[in-house]
């Protein structure tokens, strides 16, 4: 275990909820892959919008409307800078799920049908699996699933085979929400583009954990959620190459996404507004700006190194006992996530006993049922880390697992 590269004890003072006690114990929050906790700056930004700038955007010439529009469009610029994107390609959505559905509906559905293939992978969250399955059902496309190797990484030989014609699109996670596997998106994008295949990336688990530069990654679409990166729930981002967004029809119809409406026809607003029908989550955008500012102040390389250190240490703490199966690649090749099972104990029982000790983990299939089948289990226990977690919290997880063994005689 290497020395910490950030001071989580100092950062923890910025997160009010981390002072909570659960069942008489200090809260040990190890469920950041589901949703991260929020620093005071994010909470203040949301409240400040409602207190001092509550108005609709793009529609008014009064002071509050202009203030709200500045907040909203300022968030777009800040997010674009954070992920190395052209702001014209930054579309605000509710979450990663909506962003991926937007791509399936507005980009893929008008283009492909019988004889075309969509490739997903065995490690995909349902958000990057089900929309493509639904598309194939509607349009008669073929859905192919790229397998994982025994090490929890993508089988490159099989994947390269699947990228040959008639494949049109590859949908892949940057970081697996179950295994923590980090995918080489830049390499996959080069491989796919050689075959004329588009690449759509679920970046929900990557943006909070590793530096992301969408231009350098080379993907065509990249989606992520605010609530997993210290921001509020209800706001997310789809980045798409502007030339692709220009050619796509709108996803939803209504206010803001139009240019001119007549009884005969409607013309569309310029991108990205063409995909932002109705009143957006302006308060969420204010909070997302504050979240990005917080992460930038800490430094994403430092966040990545800290979480890698915690993951490596947890891999040792949890895996030391012979009665634990840890799923996925070695600790050095994963980011922020550790999924495991205790022999003879159901994951839900493990999670319940850990909660008695104030340790919050996730137990279940993690919206990855195809992956669970690949692993040969119905569910796993998942501990996931963030910049505010400490080595002592990993020790608390290990001690609580000792109580699980005692209770169940494992």
pTM (whole model) above 0.85:
yes
Render pLDDT for 209-265 as a digit per residue (tens, 0 to 9).
Answer: 999 999 999 999 999 999 999 999 999 999 999 999 999 999 999 999 989 999 999
Render pLDDT for 98-146 as a digit per residue (tens, 0 to 9).
Answer: 999 999 999 999 999 999 999 999 999 999 999 999 999 999 999 999 9
- Which one of the listed residues 141, 200, 367, 368 is annotated catalytic? 367
Report the alpha-carbon distance of residue 361 to residue 342 in Å, rounded: 14
Residue with tokens 């989550």: 281
Handedness of CA 20, 26, 31, 37 (dihedral sign): positive
H helix or E strand, kind and range, residue 356: helix 347-356
Report the alpha-carbon distance of residue 23 to residue 232 in Å, rounded: 26
Report the alpha-carbon distance of residue 135 to residue 141 in Å, rounded: 7
What average pLDDT is seen over the chain?
Answer: 96
Q: Which CATH number fits domain 43-296: 3.90.550.10, 3.30.43.10, 3.40.640.10, 2.60.40.1180?
A: 3.40.640.10
Mean pLDDT on 64-88: 97
Structure confidence at residue 410 (pLDDT)? 61
Structure confidence at residue 60 (pLDDT)? 83
Partners of 225 in beta bridges: 236
CB-CB contact of 176 with 123 (8 Å): yes
Residue 377 CA: distances (Å) to CA of 34, 270, 335 = 20, 47, 22
Is residue 367 annotated as part of the catalytic site, yes or no?
Answer: yes
Handedness of CA 35, 37, 40, 43 (dihedral sign): positive
Radius of gyration of the chain (CA): 22
Question: Is 4's pLDDT higher than 60?
Answer: no
Confidence of residue 2 (pLDDT cuts 50, 70, 90): very low
Render pLDDT for 264-317 as a digit per residue (tens, 0 to 9).
Answer: 999 999 999 999 999 999 999 999 999 999 999 999 999 999 999 999 999 999
Report the alpha-carbon distance of residue 226 to residue 221 in Å, rounded: 17
Q: Where are the domains of the chain?
A: 8-30+300-408, 43-296
% residues pLDDT > 70 (the chain): 99
Helices (H), 232-299: 242-247, 282-298
Render pLDDT for 356-379 as a digit per residue (tens, 0 to 9).
Answer: 999 999 999 999 999 999 999 999
Confidence of residue 3 (pLDDT cuts 50, 70, 90): very low
Query: How remote is the C-alpha of 269 from its chain's centroid?
Result: 28
Confidence of residue 52 (pLDDT cuts 50, 70, 90): very high
* C-alpha dihedral, 74 to 76 to 77 to 82, nearest 10°: 120
Structure confidence at residue 195 (pLDDT)? 97
Report the alpha-carbon distance of residue 31 to residue 359 in Å, rounded: 9
* 149-154 own/partner pairs: CB under 8 Å, 24+ apart: 151/329, 151/330, 152/123, 152/176, 152/179, 152/181, 152/327, 152/328, 152/329, 152/334, 153/181, 153/329, 153/333, 154/121, 154/123, 154/181, 154/183
Structure confidence at residue 14 (pLDDT)? 98
- CATH number given to 8-30+300-408: 3.90.1150.10
Report the alpha-carbon distance of residue 160 to residue 258 in Å, rounded: 41
Report the alpha-carbon distance of residue 338 to residue 330 in Å, rounded: 10
Both tokens of 152, joined, read: 């929890």
CB-CB contact of 36 with 228 (8 Å): yes
Question: Is 322's pLDDT higher than 80?
Answer: no
Question: Is 182's pLDDT higher than 70?
Answer: yes
Report the alpha-carbon distance of residue 126 to residue 20 in Å, rounded: 32
Neighbours of 344 (CB within 10 A): 11
Structure confidence at residue 321 (pLDDT)? 65
């Amino acid at each position: 275990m290497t020395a910490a590269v950030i001071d989580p004890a100092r950062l923890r003072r910025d997160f009010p909820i981390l002072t909570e006690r659960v069942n008489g114990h200090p809260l040990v929050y190890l469920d950041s892959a589901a949703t991260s906790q929020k620093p005071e700056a994010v909470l203040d930004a949301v409240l400040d919008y409602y207190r001092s700038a509550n108005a609709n955007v793009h529609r008014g010439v009064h002071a509050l409307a202009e203030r709200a529009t500045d907040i909203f469009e300022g968030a777009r610029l800040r997010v674009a800078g954070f992920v190395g994107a052209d702001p014209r390609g930054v579309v605000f959505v509710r979450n990663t799920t909506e962003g991926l559905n937007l791509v399936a509906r507005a980009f893929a559905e008008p283009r492909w049908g019988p004889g075309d293939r969509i490739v997903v992978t065995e490690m995909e969250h349902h958000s990057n699996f089900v929309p493509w399955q639904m598309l194939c059902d509607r349009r008669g496309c073929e859905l192919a699933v790229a397998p994982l190797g025994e090490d929890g990484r993508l089988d490159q030989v099989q994947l390269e085979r699947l990228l040959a014609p008639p494949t049109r699109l590859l949908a892949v996670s940057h970081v697996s929400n179950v295994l923590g596997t980090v995918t080489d998106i830049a390499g996959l994008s080069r491989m796919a583009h050689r075959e004329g295949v588009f690449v759509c990336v679920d970046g929900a688990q990557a943006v909070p954990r590793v530096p992301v530069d969408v231009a350098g990654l080379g993907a065509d679409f990249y989606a992520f959620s605010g609530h997993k990166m210290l921001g509020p729930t209800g706001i997310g981002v789809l980045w798409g190459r502007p030339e692709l967004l220009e050619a796509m029809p709108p996803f939803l119809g209504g206010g803001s996404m139009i240019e001119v409406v007549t009884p005969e026809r409607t013309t569309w607003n310029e991108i990205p507004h063409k995909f932002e029908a109705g009143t957006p989550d302006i308060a969420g955008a204010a909070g997302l700006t504050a979240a990005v500012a917080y992460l930038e102040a800490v430094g994403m390389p430092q966040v990545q190194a800290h979480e890698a250190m915690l993951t490596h240490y947890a891999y040792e703490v949890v895996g030391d006992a012979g009665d634990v199966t840890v799923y996925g690649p070695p600790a050095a090749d994963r980011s922020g996530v550790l999924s495991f099972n205790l022999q003879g104990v159901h994951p839900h029982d493990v999670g319940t006993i850990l909660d008695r000790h104030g340790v919050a983990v996730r137990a279940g299939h993690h919206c990855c049922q195809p992956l669970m089948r690949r692993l040969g289990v119905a569910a796993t226990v998942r501990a996931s880390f963030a910049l505010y977690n400490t080595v002592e919290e990993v020790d608390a997880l290990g001690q609580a697992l000792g109580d699980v063994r005692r209770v169940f005689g494992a």
